[in-house]
Amino acid sequence: MNPKILLTVPLLLLCSAASAENDFHMNNEFSLNYNKVSGPGKSASSLTENLNYLEVLNLNGGGRKSGWDYNYNLGLKATDDERNDIKTVLLTNLNGVFRKNANTVSLGDIFESFSQYTLATSLKGASYKYAKNGGRAPEITALFGYAYPRWDSVWKEPLTRTVARRAYGARAKENFSDSLSAGLSYINVKDTGRVNAADALYDSYNLALDLNYNPFPGLTVAGEHSLSDYDENAAGVSAKGSATRIELVGDADPSRVSLEYEEVQPDFFSALGAAVSDRRKVKTKWRYKYSRHTTFNSGLLWYRNNLPGSSAADTTQSWRPELGMAVKKIFSARPYSFADFSYKFDRKFGSGSSQADHYLNVNYRDRFAGLDSDSNLGYTLYKTEADVRDASEINFNTSLNSRQEKGNWVLKPQLNLGTWYSDDELTGYTDKIYEYSLGLGAELPGKNITSDLRLGQNVLKKEDAASDDSSRFFASLGAYWRTKIMKYDSTVFLRAGYNGFDFSTSSRNFREKTVTLGVNTQF
C-alpha cells in the first residue's frame, strides 16, 4: 500500500464525518517566546536565541452517522524553533474511529496493544476489531500499517525520513469462562528503505500466547509466551528466540503479594513490542497493611543476563532487596504527621565488576501552625570494585509551604532548602551542593488569575581544583489568566525566567533570559 494513502483515506473520512457534525472540540495554543543568551559559554545553553513561536492545534469530535458512532482527532504543530521541532509545520495527529455494534474500524494513528512482546507501539494505518460484550464470541483484531514515529516520515520528508517499517498482524482473544481468558497474537514486520548505510533492516515475525486466569477471588495469574524469528540484513543475522513472563498477584486486604518471572532469550527480537533481551528476572513484592495507619512494603528483584547461548561475555547478576514502612499519624497528637522509611540494596556482580549500593531514605511530613513541612533525608553508599566508584552521598531537602487568604488574594509562600554531600574515597575529594529557593504563589480566584514567582540558587563546590565550581542563580515568573476570548474558554499566560551560570573557568559563564507569552483557547 502506498503510504500516502495512509494520509488521504483518514482525511477524506474525517471530512465526511465532520460534515455530519454532532460534537466538535478544539484546543489551540499559540505562544511567542523570546530568548537571549549571553556570555562566553553561551554554546552550552539549550535555548534558541531571539524570537520564535509555537502553535499547537488539536481538533477532535464525534457523532453518529448511518448507524456508525465515530470519533476523530486532527493535530497540527507549527514552530520556527528547531529545538521544538525540526519541521516548521507538521501534522501531529490524524485519527478516525468508527463503531457499529461489535465492529470498530480505526484509521490513521492507530494503537492496538496486542501484548507486551508483540505489539506495544502505534502504527499509521488501519485496524478492524470485532468485540461483542457479554458473550463468549472471540474478540478479533486485524491491522495493517507503518511504524513511522511521525506523519512527515510517511511522505519521506528528507529531514525526518526513516526506515519504512511495515507491519500487519492479527489477534484473537477468547473468554473461556468468567475466570479464564487467552489471546493469540501474530505480527509480521518488514523494514525497507535504508536511510544510512549502517541501518539495520529487519524481516521478522512474533507469535504470542497470553492468558489471564483468576482461579479464585483475589488471585490473578497472567502470562505470555512469545516466539520470534528474524533476519537482519546489515549484519547478515538470522535468529529465533522466545520470551516468557508469568505473574501471580494475590490481592485482598490487608495484603497484596505479587510474584513475577520473566525470561527473554538473547536472540528474541520484538520490533514493535517491549522487551529487554537476554534477561532472566524474578521479582516478588509484598505490601501489608498492618493497621489503618501503618503499611509495610518489601520486595526482592533478581536478574541475570548472558543466558545460555548468549555471547562469551561474563554473566552479570543482580540482587535488589528492598524494605519500606509508611506510618500515618506517627505521633497521635499530630494528626498530619506522616513518615516513611525505605531501604534498598543493589548488588550486582559479574563481567569483572562487583557493585554493592545501599539506599536509605527517610521522609517526614507534618503541619506546624499552618505551615506544611516536608523533609527528606537520603543516604546512598556506592561500592563498585575495582577502583570504579567508592562514594557515599547524603542529601537533605526540606520545604515549608503555607496558604494564606488576604482579602481577595490567596497567597502561597514556599521555602525550599537542600544540600547534597558526596565523599569519594577513590579520589579523596568531597563535593557539596547547596540549594535554596523562595517561592510565592499568588491567586485571585474571583478574577481567575494565578501566578507563581520563584527565585533561588544552586551551588556546586568541587574540592578537586582541576574541576570547576559552578553556581546557578535562577528566577522565574508564571502568570495565568483564565478568561473568555470570543466566548471561548481561554487562558492567557506569561512566563519569564532568568538563569545565570557561573563557573571557576569564567569562559564557561553564560546568562539565559527567556520570556513566553501565549494564549490557550478551547471549546
Partner 1 sequence: MKNTVNILITLALLAGTANAKWWIFGKSADDVEIKYLTINSVSADESGKKITLFKETLQDGTVKIKGKAKAGKNQIGSVRISLDDKATWQEVKAAENGAFEFFFTPEQGKKYVFLLEATDTTGKVNKVDETRKEIEVSAENIRGKITEVLDAMFEAYNKEDAVRFISYVSENFAGDKAFLELAAKKDFNALNNINMRYTISNIASGSGKIFASITFNRMVFVNKTGRSSTDGGTTEFVFEMDGGKPLLYSMKQPLVFGLSDADNVATGEVIGNTASNLELDETGDLNYGTSVTFSNPDRSSYTRTYIFLDGSLESENGFATVLIGDIGVDIMHIWIKSGVESKVISGKSLSQVTLADLTSGTWNSTNPAATDVSVGKVYGFKVGSSYYAIEIESNNMGDPSFIIKIRVKSF
Nearer to partner 1, 65 or 472 (CB): 472
Nearer to partner 1, 418 or 444 (CB): 418
Nearer to partner 1, 159 or 371 (CB): 159
Nearer to partner 1, 122 or 337 (CB): 122
Nearer to partner 1, 180 or 330 (CB): 180
Least distance in angstroms from the C-beta of 268 to partner 1: 12
Least distance in angstroms from the C-beta of 504 to partner 1: 8
Question: d(Cα 376, Cα 312) in Å, to the nearest integer?
Answer: 44
Spell out the residues 6+ positions from residue 107 whose beta carbon is closer than 8 angstroms to its own: 9, 10, 13, 95, 96, 97, 98, 125, 126
Q: DSSP secondary structure string, 243-281?
A: EEEEEEEEEETTEEEEEEEEEE-TT---SSS---SSEEE
Least distance in angstroms from the C-beta of 325 to partner 1: 15
Amino acid at 265: Q
The residues that bridge with 17 in the sheet, in sequence order, are none
Beta strands 23-38 and 404-406 are: unpaired
Least distance in angstroms from the C-beta of 389 to partner 1: 5
Question: d(Cα 416, Cα 498) in Å, to the nearest integer?
Answer: 18
Nearer to partner 1, 444 or 477 (CB): 477
Nearer to partner 1, 104 or 490 (CB): 104
Least distance in angstroms from the C-beta of 407 to partner 1: 30
* Residue whose grid cell is 527480537: 269
Least distance in angstroms from the C-beta of 436 to partner 1: 14
Least distance in angstroms from the C-beta of 333 to partner 1: 26
Spell out the residues 6+ positions from residue 427 whose beta carbon is closer than 8 angstroms to its own: 464
Least distance in angstroms from the C-beta of 68 to partner 1: 12
* Residue 445, SS3 per DSSP: helix
Cβ 515 vs Cβ 495: under 8 Å:
yes
Tell me how far apart the terminal alpha carbons of the chain are, to the nearest angstrom. 37
Least distance in angstroms from the C-beta of 154 to partner 1: 11
Cell of 320: 535488589
Name all contacts of 376-381 with Cβ < 8 Å and 24+ positions apart.
381/357
Nearer to partner 1, 215 or 335 (CB): 215
Least distance in angstroms from the C-beta of 27 to partner 1: 7
Nearer to partner 1, 270 or 450 (CB): 270
Q: DSSP secondary structure string, 15-72?
A: HHHHHT-SEEEEEEEEEEEEEEEESTTGGG--SPPEEEEEEEEEEEEEEEETTEEEEE
Question: d(Cα 474, Cα 500) in Å, to the nearest integer?
Answer: 6
Q: Kindly report the CA angle at 66 between 64 and 72, in degrees rounded to 5?
A: 40
Nearer to partner 1, 346 or 366 (CB): 346
